[in-house]
A and B are shown apart, each in its own frame.
Chain A
């Protein structure tokens, strides 16, 4: 499992590549939480277009990160999930809590607009 992080001010774009099973989850969990816990992080886009496999361990990882993001008032969005990964995301109703986008570009556009709204409305 490869994890690439791109940061721009309050946004983090995290690209995951590989197979998201229990073994991989153990390796990336702390890094993801580290980003979510940074006071500067207001939004995180998880680009899952490179995730070729996921099972219930991956579902648990995503669900627990969505809870932490909510606790920290970080806007978490998921991009590029394959149909197989999407099916598992829906199985635990994660799609009700986290917006899903086809591409990372669309997801970034969404969080940018969201940040803009926050700035205008205070």
Chain B
């Protein structure tokens, strides 16, 4: 029978927790049968995108809420959920387009969702204005498993 494992974390939406979340997920994935360093790196980038989006976009500057992370491993199948209770995304179709950023900052390329999509097998985003955003990503890990 395939082994299952679970991880749940609640972190304040502050930028130091970008690296904290990456260290956490690497540890969680380390012992999967056949998993490659490249696959773990891809998951780390995708998680970092989702977490950074919560930190940058979900909450007002003076009232940073929490980042919620849940990972479920079912054998070699990873389901990674990242959600917040923030402002939500008014036009999700537009937000997910490559090179679209709602931030208005020249420092943002608007490539976060595109990166998540290309590094994971599946990406499902739900959002509702004023109640929050939830992202579910899936990936099969371990070549030949």
Contact = CB atoms under 8 A, between A and B. Distances in A.
A23 B107 contact: no
A22 B52 CA distance: 7
A interface SS class: helix
Nearest to A22: B52
Given A55-B49, A55-B115, A61 B107 contact: yes
A22 B106 contact: no
Nearest to B101: A60
A92 B109 CA distance: 8
A84 interface: yes
Contacts of B48: 21, 53, 55
Contacts of B55: 22
Nearest to B16: A23
Most buried by B among A54, A56, A57, A59: A56
A23 B111 contact: no
Most buried by B among A57, A84, A91: A57
A91 B110 CA distance: 12
Nearest to A67: B106
Nearest to A59: B109
Contact of A92 (B15, B18, B107, B111): B111
Q: Across the A-B interface, give the 6 residue pairs with the lowest CB-CB distance, nearest first.
A: A23-B15, A56-B111, A55-B48, A60-B109, A60-B107, A21-B18
Interface of B: 15-16, 18-19, 22, 38, 41, 44-45, 48-49, 52, 55-56, 105-109, 111-112, 114-115, 118
Interface of A: 19, 21-23, 25-26, 29, 53-57, 59-61, 63-64, 67, 84, 88, 91-92
21 contacts: A19-B22, A21-B19, A22-B18, A22-B55, A22-B56, A23-B16, A25-B107, A29-B107, A55-B52, A55-B112, A56-B49, A56-B109, A56-B112, A57-B52, A61-B107, A64-B107, A84-B38, A88-B115, A91-B111, A92-B109, A92-B111
